Amino acid sequence: MASSLASVDRGVWTLGALQKSGFGREPSNWIRAPHRVRLRLTSSRCFQKFAASCTREEEVYQELVLPELRSWRANPKSANKVLSRSSPDVASVVLSLMLKGQVQLDVFHFTAVIGACDRSSRWNLALHLLERMPEKFSVVPDTVARNAAISALEKAGRWCLACSILAAMPKARAMPDEVSYNAAISGFSKASQWQLAFDVLHETMPCIRVSPGEITCNAAITSCEKGLQWQLALRLLEESMPRMSLIANRISYSSLISACEKSGQWKLAVGTLWKMSKLKVSPN
């Protein structure tokens, strides 16, 4: 490993070379690297790759992040790249070190970490951060931060928790948008909660003046398909979408055909396939 450090010290380092040498797998190697080299490494893609894969070791990260704190204090936004590309555990440690280092934390930093939780299926950490933002960090979650948490919960099948965040958004002055409802309805779909999906699409969204898009309607049709509600799926595709000036696509028709197949409505399924051909919509 000494030769690897020597190569780094000479500045002859690339992401691929460090990965092959095994340098990034040992946190102590980053600390043993000369200070001037560590400054370059910490802000590099290599550090971000390392941070995305290693375990939680706060003392190690304190050594790594310390040189960056001064620049982050001057420009807090520059920390977002490291936060968003790190694993959730690493990102949460870096966030804590930023707080200790008197970096002004804002909603974008937390959104970056919650987004990392979403991509890594860490819904529990995403929810924990969202709940602690106002009370511990005096940062109010905005719509984007809440959407990231809803998405993490939706992917984990925690549709009840996602629904509770969605319901609390207007009171928290973070109005839900199309992205919020897309994620929530997708969660309802996975849980076969077609009634909730249908109500949100036809009652809740119009009430707060959020216009559904194709993704929203497709998620609702899919929820009807999983709930064996072929009549509602047909109504959504042939009545609701045209009324909303939305164009049904392959996903829309495929979900309807699947609903018909599961309910024994083979004539309607064949008719839908014929309609797709006529409209030049390619089937799956």
Question: pLDDT tens digit string along 10-42?
Answer: 333 344 454 455 554 555 555 455 444 444 444
pLDDT at residue 81, as a whole number: 84
pTM, whole model, 2 decimals? 0.77
pLDDT at residue 203, as a whole number: 92
Give the DSSP letter string of 225-272: HHTT-HHHHHHIIIIIHHHTT----HHHHHHHHHHHHHTT-HHHHHHH
Helix locations, 120-249, DSSP H: 123-137, 143-155, 159-168, 178-190, 194-199, 205-207, 214-226, 230-235, 241-243
Cβ 148 vs Cβ 113: under 8 Å: no
pLDDT at residue 86, as a whole number: 80
pLDDT at residue 51, as a whole number: 53
pLDDT at residue 71, as a whole number: 85
pLDDT at residue 236, as a whole number: 95
Cβ 203 vs Cβ 213: under 8 Å: no
Q: What is the mean pLDDT of each run of 10 residues along the chain (284 residues)?
A: 38 44 52 45 49 53 74 89 83 86 93 93 94 91 97 94 93 93 93 91 92 95 92 94 94 93 91 87 74
Separation in Å, CA 278 to CA 54, 144, 245, 273, 281: 53, 40, 20, 9, 8
pLDDT at residue 38, as a whole number: 45
One-letter amino acid at 72 equals: W
pLDDT at residue 20, as a whole number: 53
Question: CA-to-CA distance for 195 and 183, rounded, in angstroms?
Answer: 16
Q: 172-207: per-residue pLDDT in tens?
A: 889 999 999 999 999 999 888 999 999 999 999 999
Question: CA-to-CA distance for 157 and 168, rounded, in angstroms?
Answer: 19
